[in-house]
Chain A
Amino acid sequence: MAIYEKINERKAPSGTKGVMHWVRDNLLSTPLNVALTALGIAILFWIIPPFIKWAYVDANFIGETREDCSSGGACWVFIRMKLDMFMYGFYPSIERWRVNTVYVLFFALIAAFKYLKSSVLKIIFAHIYFIAGFILVHGGYLGLELVPTDKWGGLMLTILVAAVGIVCAFPLGVILALGRQSHLPIIKSISVTYIEFIRGVPLITILFMSSIILPLFFPEGMTFDKLLRALIGIAMFEAAYIAENIRGGLQSIPKGQYEAGDAIGLSYWQKMFLVILPQALKVAIPNLVGVSIALFQDTTLVLIIGLFDLLAMVRLSAADSYWLGYETEGYVFVTFIFWAFCYSMSSFSQRLEKRFNTNLR
């Protein structure tokens, strides 16, 4: 009987595992790769240390006046002193708790959405939120002092324009998407014309139209607030893009679903709202988040028609004769805010996409 000896286990051959191997494989595999890695490191060294030196090491954080910014780096004192303006515009400072309450209520709404099962209740809650939000921010009711819309500004206005734009554009977008897929020729051609017209022109021309031409459309004496005009333009614009994304969702629903809806005797609207749209919207959600990101970026355009959103507030503050020359800090600050909002939304949409993809398998 043969005797088998146990052989001691050996280490993995050097150069297939560990940090060194990873570096060799991923960074230094060919001469070209070595050169590229060197180039990459050079770019990093060229950008990051000077930026850290400017924005942190040499920067001024403490103080309240221009004289406190003496070290040559970034003057964050400027941002600190103007922060209230960046956040709320010219909204009166004693009334700002009202805006903050609306922010807090938003999280309450999200929490309520997580725990509520009934979609009817959800819809009611959302409506209550929007009405309460409007009363709180605008005032004029319930003993709250009226704050006219030309005092609204800063990040608050940016968020408001984006949120109201999406919420108002969504139902219109759903209707347009259904219209485009409809077999009724007139409905279809009206929807197609609207969608293709809006998608064919830049937002700025639509904003010009809503701010200059819209008042001409209605009888004398019927005036529209500047903010309302901008919101109408943005909602009209965004509806076309939302419609196209929902159409993508509608097209991905197999024909059998429509036939099944017909077979159990549902009416057109029942079929759409109970069978088709719930599935189509689920498919369309990642793209709809993409649309929301684009809209959030597009809200900056309202500064061209004279509203004071976050970017406009920063431009205005940088033109303040006392703080002249700190434009860079202002732009870096807005860049950071917009980037943080958009990046978190886009990673959210990527997560959603992954989750939905696995569901299909």
Chain B
Amino acid sequence: MLTLLRNQKVRGILFQLLTVIGLVAFLWYIGVNTLTNIEQRGIQTGFGFLNGTAGFGIDQSPIAYTEENTHGRVFIVGLLNTLIIAMAGIVFATLLGLLIGVLRLSKNWLISTLARGYIDFFRNIPLLLQILFWYNVVLRAMPSPKQSINFFDMFFVNNRGLYFPLPDYNTTFFAMVASLGIALIGIVALNMWANKRKEESGEDFAVVPYAFGLLVLLPIVAYFLSGANLHFSIPELKGFNFKGGKTLSPEFLALTFALTIYTATFIAEAVRSGIEAVSHGQKEAAVSLGLSPYQSLKFVVMPQAIRIAIPPIINQYLNLIKNSSLATAVGYPEIVTVFAGTSLNQVGQAVEIISMTMLVYLTISLLVSAFLNWFNHKMKIKER
């Protein structure tokens, strides 16, 4: 018996068995307690509440929503708003992050110091503080609608948000959107063809001017072919507020600013460390092969830098999506605010609602890490 206990395998199995028993007992204990507590407090269980009427309004919704809609609809609205704020944050944070990261590596001392100062400043301030600062200090200090800051009579900024013109959805508009899509597909095809030709013949083909040409020409052609009938709905001051066009609420703006500025610092650092991680010998090798600085950047430095920089950048995207839940502090109606906030207060079914909210973020995280694993596998240097 004692010799059996000294056997490593037996001990391993015993130890795991004990852990499982402990864990199951603990889960059983809290499960039973939760059920009795819920019963005592008269809270309902199950997901029937999703079909119940919500009874509260949501001021920003990408889909039709009224007070008579269900909590299930609230969940969808919240999820869509989360995705909207995440997309906006990711796009702007990437652009700003790339810019700051490149400036950080600039040979100009003043510029690289300023970029470093930006990074050191904003990454060391809590995101929630930045969101509240933009919302309570900057955007609230904007003038009232009557004294709006006016850009070309088209864009207006006041303490109720940012107003901008929106094209009417007619044939011309859709034709132009479609032509942009075709142009993008064309550019991808052109790029593939150019790469193939280069591998076969070694001849370079300048894709960039053609790409720009496609992007500009195709929409223009589409504009005239579809009847040249593009109308904009321009915001106008009517009474106490603006009518027409599109409004971005102060909550949305504060969140986008803060998420962009905060996340851009991390993206900039990822870009910088990616480029710096390419060993100096690689650049020297490129020079000694007679490549021009541009060629060395395009064919030697960037392919290696991207491999290193992309995984941390995608992780930052994930952080940004999770951080968008801080919207609840300013009341932007994303999933935590409306579903885990207002709906929870009305229904009281905390276990179901918080589990559903967590599941949303968990699904996004798992999808992103699955993508990241695939990417890392694809980008792995193929050694022979």
Q: Which residues of A contact B (CB under 8 A)?
A: 26-27, 29, 33, 36-37, 39-41, 43-44, 183-187, 190, 196-197, 199-205, 208-209, 212-213, 215-220, 293, 296-301, 303-304, 311, 315, 318, 327-328, 331, 334-335, 338-339, 342-343, 346
Q: Are A339 and B110 in contact (CB under 8 A)?
A: no
Instruction: Name the B residues within 8 Å of A315 (CB-CB).
Output: 132, 136
A218 touches which of B30, B121, B329 (Cβ 8 Å) = B30
Q: In chain B, what residue has the closest Cβ to A185?
A: B16
Q: Are B19 and A27 in contact (CB under 8 A)?
A: no
Q: Are B108 and A208 in contact (CB under 8 A)?
A: no
Q: Which of B119-133 contact A (CB under 8 A)?
A: 120-121, 123-129, 132-133
What 7 A-B pairs are tightest by C-beta distance, nearest first? A200-B365, A342-B124, A297-B126, A217-B30, A202-B322, A26-B109, A202-B325
Instruction: Name the B residues within 8 Å of A339 (CB-CB).
Output: 121, 124-125
A204 touches which of B33, B133, B325, B365 (Cβ 8 Å) = B325
The docked-state distance in angstroms from the alpha carbon of A36 to that of B105 is 13
Q: Which residues of B contact A (CB under 8 A)?
A: 12, 15-16, 19-20, 23, 30, 33-34, 36-38, 40, 106-111, 114, 120-121, 123-129, 132-133, 136-137, 140, 322-323, 325-326, 328-329, 336, 340, 344, 350-351, 354, 357-358, 361-362, 364-366
Q: Are B125 and A33 in contact (CB under 8 A)?
A: no
B19 touches which of A186, A218, A293, A297 (Cβ 8 Å) = A186
Q: In chain A, what residue has the closest Cβ to B41?
A: A216
Q: In chain B, what residue has the closest Cβ to A315?
A: B132
Q: Are B137 and A328 in contact (CB under 8 A)?
A: yes
Secondary structure dominating the interface of B:
helix
A330 to chain B, nearest CB (A): 9
B3 to chain A, nearest CB (A): 16
Q: Are B128 and A209 in contact (CB under 8 A)?
A: no
A300 touches which of B126, B328, B350, B358 (Cβ 8 Å) = B126
| Residue among B110, B126, B137 with max Cβ neighbours from chain A (10 Å) | B126
The docked-state distance in angstroms from the alpha carbon of A337 to that of B320 is 24
Instruction: Name the A residues within 8 Å of B137 (CB-CB).
Output: 327-328, 331
Other than the given A26-B109, A29-B108, A327-B136, 8 more pairs (CB < 8 A) read A26-B107, A40-B111, A184-B12, A202-B322, A205-B354, A318-B136, A331-B132, A339-B121
Instruction: Name the A residues within 8 Å of B128 (CB-CB).
Output: 300-301, 303, 311
B133 touches which of A202, A303, A331, A346 (Cβ 8 Å) = A331
Q: In chain A, what residue has the closest Cβ to B324?
A: A202
The docked-state distance in angstroms from the alpha carbon of A43 to that of B103 is 14
Given contacts A36-B108, A190-B23, A301-B326, contact A311 B126 (CB under 8 A): yes
Q: Are B125 and A338 in contact (CB under 8 A)?
A: yes
Instruction: Name the A residues within 8 Å of B362 (CB-CB).
Output: 197, 200-201
Instruction: Name the B residues within 8 Å of A26 (CB-CB).
Output: 107-110
Q: Are A297 and B127 in contact (CB under 8 A)?
A: yes
The docked-state distance in angstroms from the alpha carbon of A29 to that of B358 is 53
The docked-state distance in angstroms from the alpha carbon of A40 to that of B361 is 40
Q: Are A27 and B108 in contact (CB under 8 A)?
A: yes
Given contacts A40-B111, A40-B114, contact A335 B354 (CB under 8 A): no
Instruction: Name the B residues within 8 Å of A44 (CB-CB).
Output: 114
The docked-state distance in angstroms from the alpha carbon of A355 to that of B340 is 46
Q: Are B110 and A335 in contact (CB under 8 A)?
A: no
Q: Are B358 and A201 in contact (CB under 8 A)?
A: yes
The docked-state distance in angstroms from the alpha carbon of A19 to that of B347 is 70
Instruction: Name the A residues within 8 Å of B121 (CB-CB).
Output: 339
| Residue among B106, B124, B340, B366 with max Cβ neighbours from chain A (10 Å) | B124
B354 to chain A, nearest CB (A): 5
7 A-B residue contacts at CB 8 Å? A184-B16, A190-B19, A217-B30, A220-B37, A298-B126, A327-B136, A331-B132
Q: Are A219 and B33 in contact (CB under 8 A)?
A: yes
Q: Are A218 and B33 in contact (CB under 8 A)?
A: yes
